[in-house]
A and B are shown apart, each in its own frame.
Chain A
């Protein structure tokens, strides 16, 4: 089944404790993105990647890092999480010219 998977789905952590949210797609898509969803703001892009080792900032990259060492994986790294990064995070992938497929989302609470 074609899908985008994210782990963990739910995470509660404390300020400053490094965490990684994994994202994997099995559709051989070149393009992947991370978004965060906040009430009243819709979804905003954090980072995107157009291929292996090619990443760039989206609209709200501060406090986040990404890497793309393999085509299928695009982890989101929070080196020192803060409470304002409490949010619902979505990973997405798409083929060239195609529509984005979204992962199931990761709910993060930073205390």
Chain B
């Protein structure tokens, strides 16, 4: 069975600090996809990144970066120089590759990490 664990329920930091959100996943599939979504206080889900299991290159997008390590089944998310607007709940999610091809693509979500950036 697939599982995603975000052990950090809540994180609170002061603005401009760097912060890393942890994500550990379990799957027996060799082909799978990992995602991060942001849920700001307004409630919508904002897609941040999708990474497939064959691409272990780290990704950087502005102040955001992602570290994918298959050896530890982790897909961690780092925000550099955090800002108050980064305050949100962040979800890590997993989908097996076969499901994407077949069409189901059920996303298995972690419990979410509530990040608060204090001014």
Query: Known interface pairs A40-B111, A41-B111, A99-B47. Does A31 touch B106 (Cβ–Cβ under 8 Å)?
Result: no
Residues of A within 8 A of B43 (CB): 88, 104-105, 107
| Bound form: Cα–Cα A43–B103 in Å | 19
Q: Could you mark each residue 89-110 of chain A with 1 if its beta carbon is under 8 Å from any beta carbon of chain B, else 0?
A: 0100010110111101101000
Residues of B within 8 A of A97 (CB): 100-101
Interface size on A, residues (CB 8 A): 28
Residues of B within 8 A of A102 (CB): 37, 44-45, 47
Inter-chain contact A45/B107, CB cutoff 8 Å:
yes
Q: Does A65 touch B at the CB level, under 8 Å?
A: no
Residues of A within 8 A of B37 (CB): 102
Across the A-B interface, how many residue pairs have beta carbons closer than 8 Å? 57
Q: Does B63 touch A at the CB level, under 8 Å?
A: no
Interface size on B, residues (CB 8 A): 23
| Bound form: Cα–Cα A4–B106 in Å | 18
| Bound form: Cα–Cα A99–B68 in Å | 18
Closest-by-CB residue of A relative to B9 is A40
Inter-chain contact A100/B105, CB cutoff 8 Å:
yes
Inter-chain contact A100/B100, CB cutoff 8 Å:
no
Inter-chain contact B109/A104, CB cutoff 8 Å:
no
Q: Does A58 touch B at the CB level, under 8 Å?
A: yes
| Bound form: Cα–Cα A9–B91 in Å | 21
| Bound form: Cα–Cα A35–B90 in Å | 16
Shortest beta-carbon distance, B94 to chain A, in Å?
Answer: 11
One of B9, B107, B111 near A100 (C-beta < 8 A): B107
Q: Does A50 touch B at the CB level, under 8 Å?
A: yes
Residues of A within 8 A of B47 (CB): 99-102
Q: Could you mark each residue 72-99 of chain A with 1 if its beta carbon is under 8 Å from any beta carbon of chain B, else 0?
A: 0000000000000000101000101101
Q: Does B64 touch A at the CB level, under 8 Å?
A: no
Q: Could you mark each residue 20-56 of chain B with 1 if its beta carbon is under 8 Å from any beta carbon of chain A, else 0?
A: 0000000000000001010000011101001000000
- Closest A-B pairs by Cβ, 10 of them: A42-B109, A50-B103, A102-B45, A43-B109, A45-B106, A42-B111, A105-B43, A104-B44, A99-B50, A31-B103
